[in-house]
Every structure is written in structure tokens, then in C-alpha cells.
Amino acid sequence: MELTGTHTLNASAETIWAMLMNPDTLAKVTPGISRLELESEGVYKAIAEVKIGPVAGKFEGKAEVANAVAPQSFTLRVVQNSKIGNVNADINMMLKPLSDSQTELSFDGKADMSGLLARTGNRVMSGVASTLTKQFFKNFEDELSTAG
């Protein structure tokens, strides 16, 4: 499953970078992620709960921040296991400053699924992914306005 999204946020690249590197904020804005616990430098234990339509499950796994180039880009590697299947995702996050107070945040990547998650159909999962993307950016805006 391909994952892509682009959104302009009203904050500087440095502000957004800091938020993304803060596990509590990242957990808050990422839909379904209820907790990120730091395990070692850049490696988190991730607890996620997702329920959209027929896809519902509690995922436990690992999220890793790699190739970090502050405040421009990093790769988010996610390995999640659950009773309804496993997810392996590699997502490249990119921050492009548009001005001092505006940044374009974009990502692209790929998620491989197995088990029931794969079988219940990419048709459903693509819809889920696009909903999650929208939620992610909306949560980010909410978080920015709260912080501001």
C-alpha cells in the first residue's frame, strides 16, 4: 500500500521538527497511536489502536527514526504486529520551509501488510490510509494551535 500526503502547516520547520521528534507529540498527532515509549536513541515501542470499518486491532511494535537530517527529513520505520496481521512501513518525512512561519510537511512511503489485514483488501485499506493521513494533519494543526 502506497502512503503519500502533503500539507502546509503554519509554523517554522524548526518548530515542526521539534514536535515530530517529541514522542508525546508524535503519539498525540498520529491517529491510532496511543503511546510511544523511548527504548533507545530514535527507537520507540509503539502501541496503536486502529478501528475503521472492518479493520480493528491493537498493534504493538517498534517505530524507529532513521536518517534524521534536522530540520529537513527523516525516515520513519514502523514494524507493527497484531492478531489481525503485521505491518511493515518505511515512510520518508520531508519538511520544506515556505517562509519563517509556513512549512510544507510531506511524506511518501510504502506499507507491506500480511495476514487478515492484507486479505481484507487494499480497497478498504487505501481508504483507511487516506483517512488516517487527513487525521494526522488535522491533529497536527490542532496541536500547533494549542501550543501557539
Partner 1 sequence: MSNKFIGKSVKRTEDKRFITGKGRYTDDINLPGMTHAYILRSPYAHARIKSIDTSAAAAMQGVVTIMTGDEVGHYGVPCGWQVNFKNGDTMKEPPHPLLVKDKVRHVGDAVVMVVAESREIAQDAAEAIIINYEVLPAVTDASKAVEAGAPLVHDDVPNNICFDWEIGNPKAEVDEAMASAAHITTLEFVNQRVSPNAMEPRSYIGHYDGVYDKYTLYTSTQNPHLIRLLMCAFVLGLPEHKVRVVGPDVGGGFGSKIYHYTEEALVTLAAKKTGRPVKWTETRSEAFLTDAHGRDHVTKAEMGFDGDGKIVGLRIKTFANLGAYLSTFSTAVPTYLHGTLLQGVYTTPKIHLEMTCVFTNTTAVDAYRGAGRPEATYLLERLLDLSALEMGVDPTELRLKNFIPAFDGITQPGYQTNVALQYDSGNYHGVLQRGLEMLGYEDFRKAQNEAAASGKLLGVGFSTYIEACGIAPSAVVGSLGARAGLYEVGQVRVQPTGKVSVFTGAHSHGQGHETTFAQVVADRLGIPMEDVDIIHGDSDTVAFGMGTYGSRSLAVGGSAIMKSLDKIIEKGAKIAAHKLECSPDDIEFADGKFTVKGTDKSLGFGDIALTAYVPHVYPANLEPGLDFSSFYDPTNFTYPFGCHIAVVEVDKETGATKVKRFIAVDDVGNVINPMIVDGQIHGGVAQGIGQALLEGVEFDGNGQIINGSYMDYAMPRADDLPMFELDRQVTPCPHNPLGVKGAGEAGCIGSTPAVVNAVIDALWSAGHQVKDIRMPLTPERVWSAMQ
Q: Which residues bind partner 1 (CB under 8 A)?
A: 54, 83, 85-86, 112-116, 118-124
Taking the least distance from each CB to partner 1, the nearer of 75 and 86 is 86
User: How do beta strands 73-82 and 43-52 pair?
Assistant: unpaired
Q: CA-to-CA distance for 100 and 119, rounded, in angstroms?
A: 45
Taking the least distance from each CB to partner 1, the nearer of 97 and 127 is 127
CB of 121 to partner 1, least distance (A): 4
CB of 108 to partner 1, least distance (A): 18
Taking the least distance from each CB to partner 1, the nearer of 14 and 108 is 108
Taking the least distance from each CB to partner 1, the nearer of 85 and 109 is 85
List C-alpha distances in Å: 82 to 3, 33, 50, 73, 130: 20, 14, 11, 29, 21
CB of 40 to partner 1, least distance (A): 20
* Cell of residue 43, nine digits: 527507537
CB of 118 to partner 1, least distance (A): 4
CB of 143 to partner 1, least distance (A): 34
Q: Which residue in this structure is represented by grid cell 503519500?
A: 4
Taking residue 5's Cβ as centre, other Cβ atoms within 10 Å add up to 18
- Contact present, 126 and 1 (Cβ < 8 Å): yes
Taking the least distance from each CB to partner 1, the nearer of 119 and 134 is 119
Cis peptide before 54 (omega within 30 of 0): no
